[in-house]
Amino acid sequence: MRPEAQEWPFDLDRMLSSVVALEARVSPDAFTAQTLGVDRIGNATVLNAGGLVLTMGYLVMEAEEVTLTRNDGVRVPAHVLGVDAVTGFGLAQALEPLDLPPLPLGDSRKLKAGGRVIIAGAGGRAHAADGQVLARMRFAGYWEYLLDDAIMTGPAHPHWSGAALVDGSGALVGVGSLALQGQTRDGEAAPLNMFVPSELLPPILDDLASGRPAHPPRPWLGVLAQDFRDHVVIVGVNPRGPAARAELRAGDIIRAVGATPVTELAGFYKALWAQGEPGALIPLRIEREGDEFDLEVRSADRGALLKKPRLN
C-alpha cells in the first residue's frame, strides 16, 4: 500500500518530509484531560518555512508541552497557537528551525470519490499509504461537532491523527481526524478515515495563528449524542457541562429544540446553534422512558473552560 515515487509527479520523499510526529503533554487538571488523555500522539504538517505546523485541535488542546519530531529523529519543541472548535484544526509553532520544506495548501473540492491520494503520517514512505477518496459527506460528531463536507478515505491509516492527505499535485488537501467503521456492499465492516478539508483553513489562518478566536463561540450543552433510526439519543453527558446540571442523562431522546423537531444529529446541532450565543436558554423537549417533558438548559461557552496557551 506504500506509494511509489515513479507514480507521482512530484518529489515524494521531499513531500513526506513535511509531515512530522507530534507529542503533546496536558496537565492532569485540564478540562479535556479525562476525555482526551494527558499524553497525546499524532502528526502535523509544515505550512511555512518559519515552522508553522497544522494538526488536529484535539491533539494540542490545553497542551503545556509540544514536541515535533522530524523523520530523521531530530526533536524540536513547539508552542500551541490556537485551536478552532468549528473546523477542528489546531496550529502550533516550532520554537527552533525545522529546516523542512512546507507543503502547499490545496483545495479538496477538486477531489471526487475514487480519486487517488496519499495518506501520510510521520516517518516517510514506511508510514504512508497509497489511498483513494471513498466519499464526500456530511459528518456529525457525538461531541457537538458538525462538518458539512468531510472526506472519507481508504485504506484506513493506523496513525490517522493529524495525518496529511495529499493530492496528485503534491498539495495538502485534508488533515486526518478520525478512524471510522464503514460497510461494504456485502455488509462487511470496512475501516476508513475521515479528513477535514484543507480549504477551511485559509479564511481562519490569520486569526488562529494570532491566538484570536477563529469563529464566534457557539452555545454548548455538554451532551454526547448519537443518531438512532430517526431519533437523537443522549449516550452520555459531560459532568462539568450544562446538560449534567439540568440532570439530562444517557437514554434520553431529544425530540425538539424549541419548535424545531429533531430527527438527526446534524439537525439538532443546527437548531441548537441557532438559539444565540453561549449563555442562551435552550428549550428542549425530552423523551424519557416513554414520557415527554419540556425543560430549558442554560448553555455555556466550552472554550471558556479550557486552559489557554501560555505566551512565549
Please tell me the predicted confidence (pLDDT) of residue 189. 81
Assigned C-alpha cell, 127:
508510514
Distances 222 to 2, 148, 172, 225 between C-alpha atoms, Å: 40, 21, 33, 10
Q: What CATH number corresponds to the domain at position 284?
A: 2.30.42.10
pLDDT in tens, 67-77: 999 999 999 99
Whether 2 maps to a domain, the answer reads no
Residue whose entry in the numeric block shows the C-alpha cell 515524494:
12
Last residue of one domain, picked from the residues 77, 101, 125: 101
Structural domain including 145 reads 108-198
The confidence score (pLDDT) of residue 311 equals 59
Looking at the chain, how many residues does it have?
A: 312
Task: Give long-range contacts, CB 8 A cutoff, 24+ apart: 291-294.
Answer: 292/255
Query: Alpha-carbon distance 162 to 178, whole Å?
Result: 9
Q: In this structure, is residue 235 part of a structural domain?
A: yes
CA–CA separation, 312 vs 309, rounded Å? 9
List 293's β-bridge partners, or say none: 286
Task: Determine the average pLDDT of the residues in 188-210.
Answer: 95
What is the pLDDT at residue 68? 98
Percent of the chain scoring above 90 in pLDDT: 93
Q: Is the pLDDT assigned to residue 186 strictly greater than 90?
A: no
Q: How far is CA 160 from CA 24, 101, 129, 148, 218, in A?
A: 16, 21, 11, 20, 27
Take residue 260 and report the three cell numbers written for it: 424545531
Q: Count Cβ atoms below 10 Å from residue 97 Cβ, excluding itself.
A: 10
Residues 128 and 193 in one domain: yes
> Which of 101, 127, 144 is a domain's end point?
101
